[in-house]
Amino acid sequence: MSNRHLKVSQDQGVHVMELTLPLVVDPTDFDKLNEAIGEATDSAGGERWVLDLRQVEYVGSALLGLLVNLRQRIKSAGGRLVLCGLSDQVTKALQTCSLHNLFTIAPSRAEALKSMRTR
């Protein structure tokens, strides 16, 4: 599954979502992104997921809400989520809002995938 801002694939039995968000995101596009993420996780939410944020320039409340909702959706289904590729801005936003402790964060996709295989 993919759309303009989301690409979903598999790597060694782990679902990988790649977000691509420019500095400015149209609210309608963000709604479509939320729907696409919901569709992707509805069928496999209870599995292992990596969210790659290397291509995310936008940092705002909509992104933070998306991350928290995604975490809850996957956790409620019995799955696991690891974030990777966070920019300094995304990291700072998570820390400022005291959300960083909610997530498992890896510096790279390779490290995120490795952590999934070792748990």
Digit-coded pLDDT (tens) for 10-66: 998 999 999 999 999 888 888 899 999 999 898 887 899 999 999 999 999 999 999
Number of domains in the chain: 1
Given this model, what pLDDT does residue 46 score? 84
**104 assigned to some structural domain:** yes
The answer to whether residue 1 is domain-embedded is: no
What is the DSSP annotation of 6-37?
Answer: EEEEEETTEEEEEEEE-SS--HHHHHHHHHHH
pLDDT of residue 119: 63
Helices (DSSP H) in 24-106: which residue ranges? 27-42, 61-76, 88-96
Using a pLDDT cut of 90, give the percent of the chain over it: 77
The reported pTM is 0.92
Q: Return the pLDDT at 1.
A: 42
What percent of the chain is predicted at pLDDT more than 70? Answer: 97
**Would you say the C-alpha torsion 3, 7, 8, 9 has a positive or negative sign?**
positive
Given its phi and psi angles, is residue 41 left (phi above 0), alpha (psi -120 to 50 degrees) or beta? alpha
Q: Count CB neighbours of 37 within 10 A.
A: 22
Which residues fall within 8 angstroms of residue 83, CB to CB, at 6 or more apart?
50, 51, 53, 67, 103, 104, 105, 106, 112
Can you give the CATH number for the domain in which 77 is found? 3.30.750.24
Give residue 73's identity as a one-letter amino acid code.
R
Domain span including residue 94: 6-118
